[in-house]
Amino acid sequence: MNDGELTGQVRTHIADVSDPPCALHAHVVAPFLNLRRAALADGFDPVAISSFRDFSRQLSIWNGKFKGERPMLDASALPLDANALTSLERVEAILLWSALPGASRHHWGTDIDLIDRNATPPGYRVQLTPEEFAPAGPYGPLAEWLEVNAARFGFFRPFRGVLSGVRPEPWHFSFAPVAENARRCLTSAVLHKAIAAAPLLGKEQVLERLDELHARYVAAIDWP
């Protein structure tokens, strides 16, 4: 991937999938559909509630949280008041659950947030919380199936809260053969260039500590 693809500023690496609707790296489409077929055979209907996400969308999410217009959560997934936090505290809080624009693994088209359409009640608003994927949650059975089977198709969970700075995300799966190369190529310098040119709130605090943030939230992931 080139720098624009790594940081989500272009989508030349992305292919659109019609069923189920999602956008993935061209080399991830077949592995995902293979995983999906196996899950369907076992009674699950995994769909991507989030797949490729471009830089502009990630920037909107970041700035919305920074301004307090979107929910901001602490490490225990409890609500925070953005107005009560300093700029640096806002940056730290956002990074627990959301990536910096340019640093999201969703930019690569290798990563998907999966839910079970069969287990989603009519009118249910998916929150993507750990409770939904716990054994008693609606997506607990899918989470268990993926824990056992995802690796057969090349997918793993990069955020388990062990090595990664990001909080555990049991819904987030990544296609290792493509994503690992992208992770190595997305250096701090590449990320700096993308962020420096963007209207990112908290940019001064981010750029001052970018090497540290890159090491904790981009380079550090949880391998199976």
Strand partners, 14: 25
Question: CATH number of the domain at 3-219, out of 1.10.238.10, 3.30.1380.10, 1.20.1050.10, 3.40.605.10?
Answer: 3.30.1380.10
Domain positions in the chain = 3-219
Q: pLDDT digits over 204-222, tens only?
A: 999 999 999 999 999 999 9
Alpha-carbon Rg of the chain, whole angstroms? Answer: 17
Judge whether 200 and 90 are in contact, CB under 8 Å: no
Q: pLDDT digits over 96-143, tens only?
A: 888 999 999 999 999 999 999 999 989 999 999 899 999 999 999 999
Q: pLDDT digits over 60-96, tens only?
A: 999 999 998 898 888 887 888 888 889 999 998 999 8
Pairing of strands 79-80, 172-175: unpaired
Q: pLDDT digits over 181-197, tens only?
A: 999 999 999 999 999 99
* 170 closest CA partner among 180, 159, 162: 159
* 218 closest CA partner among 113, 101, 112: 101
pTM, two decimals, is 0.91
